[in-house]
């Protein structure tokens, strides 16, 4: 099986110097590609001067996470893609368990390894932990991370189970599935793009899995430093993803509840004096309403394919029932 390891870079010289040598040393049998989003620092010069076997695909500007990958992957031929962030440290033998699973099980179409925190290596990492799920209102959570509660890795999630979404920090996907789904949604720019991709995959009957035998360490929050913009993208994109992927019968009901919950969150930020976050949520909803028809047209015929959500409301479970660990949700 031909694996292409693909990093998306934008002014990431510091991160590349820190993590790329380890990636190269521990991925010797796989081709590595860097898609560069029009960097203006010395990152590409660093790669070209020090890693002659890495293929650099140069884009003319910062297209964001979604479009950057979409454009770059058009130039890469492989059976399997690994999309990995520049702030990820891989471990010894991180690839082989993944390849073994993809080779032995044709039902595995998308997968992620165990994501641990680079700065606190005994704990799961926020963006993916041991694999992701959503509730009926589109709020995300992970095995090992619900909202701000992050669990210590005590091997409690070592079984390789089916997921709803795999983290974009380190995601493996068959190229044929990537092409069938037409990659990420360009309009999302960054954030929630992997959840949208995996939901579209779910709606087509493709399965996503967690592969516990593979482990990486993720810094997290290293690419987008403007917190208000991150909050804006999170709230905006989550609404778009719901609109695109929800079963037809649930669209109005779920979106109305979600909008109300977002408004409550916005006013909570206002009460706490976080005015910029309040306006970020407000701006996200204005965009969503103005572009409702545009994103609604992206819907495809969705066949019933089982229940997409793991729990009805993770907000209720976490804040009311005080279930802050994934294992508690299933009791």
Q: Is the pLDDT of residue 272 over 90?
A: yes
Provide the mean pLDDT of the chain. Answer: 95
Tell me the CATH architecture of domain 3-218.
Answer: Alpha-Beta Complex (3.90)
Give the pLDDT of residue 262. 95
Residue 131's closest CA among 139, 122, 140?
Answer: 140
Give the pLDDT of residue 277. 94
What's the rounded mean pLDDT across residues 140-150?
Answer: 96
- For 207-255, give the secondary structure using H, E and C: EEEEEEEEEEEECCCCCCCCHHHHHHHHHHHHHHHHHHHCCHHHHHHHH
**Binning pLDDT at 50, 70 and 90, where does residue 301 land?**
confident
Q: What is the rounded distance in angstroms from the CA atom of residue 184 to the CA atom of residue 195?
A: 10
Q: pLDDT by residue (tens digit) across 20-52?
A: 999 999 998 999 999 999 999 999 999 999 999
For the chain, the domains span: 3-218, 227-329
Per cent of the chain over pLDDT 70 is 97
Q: Is the pLDDT of residue 220 over 90?
A: no
Give the pLDDT of residue 226. 54
Q: Is the pLDDT of residue 224 over 60?
A: no
Residues 6 and 78 sit within 8 Å (Cβ to Cβ) = no
Residues 317 and 329 sit within 8 Å (Cβ to Cβ) = yes
C-alpha distances (whole Å) from 93 to each of 78, 128, 171 are: 20, 20, 16
Q: What is the rounded distance in angstroms from the CA atom of residue 126 to the CA atom of residue 160?
A: 19
Give the pLDDT of residue 300. 87
Q: Is the pLDDT of residue 297 over 50?
A: yes
String of DSSP letters for 155-205: STT-S--EESB--TTEEEEEHHHHHHTTSS-GGG-SSSHHHHHHHHHHHTT
What's the rounded mean pLDDT across residues 203-226?
Answer: 85
Q: What is the rounded distance in angstroms from the CA atom of residue 275 to the CA atom of residue 54?
A: 44
Provide the 8-state DSSP code for 152.
B
Q: Is the pLDDT of residue 12 over 80?
A: yes
Give the pLDDT of residue 331. 67
Lowest mean pLDDT among 54-68, 106-120, 219-233: 219-233
Q: What is the CA radius of gyration of the chain?
A: 19
Q: Is the pLDDT of residue 222 over 80?
A: no
Give the pLDDT of residue 227. 75
* Residues 6 or more apart in contact with residue 266 via CB below 8 angstroms: 277, 278, 281, 282
Q: What is the rounded distance in angstroms from the CA atom of residue 216 to the CA atom of residue 168?
A: 13
HSE-up of 97 (CA within 13 Å, CB side)? 17
Q: What is the rounded distance in angstroms from the CA atom of residue 317 to the CA atom of residue 9?
A: 37
Q: Is the pLDDT of residue 225 over 90?
A: no
What's the rounded mean pLDDT across residues 140-168?
Answer: 96
What's the rounded mean pLDDT across residues 128-139?
Answer: 97
What's the rounded mean pLDDT across residues 134-160?
Answer: 96
Q: pLDDT by residue (tens digit) across 236-258?
A: 999 999 999 999 999 999 999 99
| Number of helices (H), then strands (E), in the chain | 12, 14
Q: Is the pLDDT of residue 223 over 50?
A: no
């Amino acid at each position: 099986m031909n694996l292409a390891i693909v990093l998306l870079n934008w002014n990431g010289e510091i991160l590349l110097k820190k993590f790329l040598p380890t990636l190269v040393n521990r991925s010797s049998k796989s081709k590595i590609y860097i898609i560069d989003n029009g960097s203006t620092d010395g990152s590409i010069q660093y790669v070209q001067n020090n890693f002659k076997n890495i293929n650099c695909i140069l884009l003319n500007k910062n297209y964001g996470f979604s479009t950057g990958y979409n454009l770059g992957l058009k130039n890469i031929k492989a059976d399997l893609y690994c999309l990995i962030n520049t702030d990820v440290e891989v471990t010894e033998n991180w690839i082989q368990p993944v390849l073994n699973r993809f080779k032995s099980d044709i039902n595995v179409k998308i997968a992620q390894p165990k994501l641990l925190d680079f700065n606190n290596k005994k704990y799961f990492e926020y963006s993916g932990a041991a694999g992701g799920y959503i509730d009926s209102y589109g709020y995300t959570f992970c095995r090992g991370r619900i909202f701000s509660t992050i669990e210590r890795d005590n091997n409690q999630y070592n079984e390789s189970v089916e997921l709803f979404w795999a983290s974009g920090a380190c995601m493996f996907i068959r190229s044929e599935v990537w092409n069938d789904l037409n990659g990420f949604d360009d309009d999302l720019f960054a954030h929630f793009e992997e959840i949208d991709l995996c939901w579209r995959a779910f709606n087509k009957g493709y399965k996503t899995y967690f592969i516990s035998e593979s482990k990486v360490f993720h810094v997290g929050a290293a690419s987008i430093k403007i917190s208000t913009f991150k909050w804006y993208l999170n709230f905006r994109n989550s609404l778009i993803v719901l609109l695109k992927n929800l079963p037809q019968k649930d669209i109005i009901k779920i979106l109305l509840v979600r909008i109300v919950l977002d408004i409550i969150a916005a006013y909570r930020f206002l009460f706490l004096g976080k005015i910029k976050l309040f306006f970020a949520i407000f701006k996200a909803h204005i965009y969503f309403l103005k572009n409702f028809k545009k994103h609604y047209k992206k819907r495809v015929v969705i066949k019933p394919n089982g229940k997409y959500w793991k729990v009805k409301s993770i907000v209720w479970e976490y804040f009311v029932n005080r279930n802050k660990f994934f294992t508690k949700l299933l009791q």
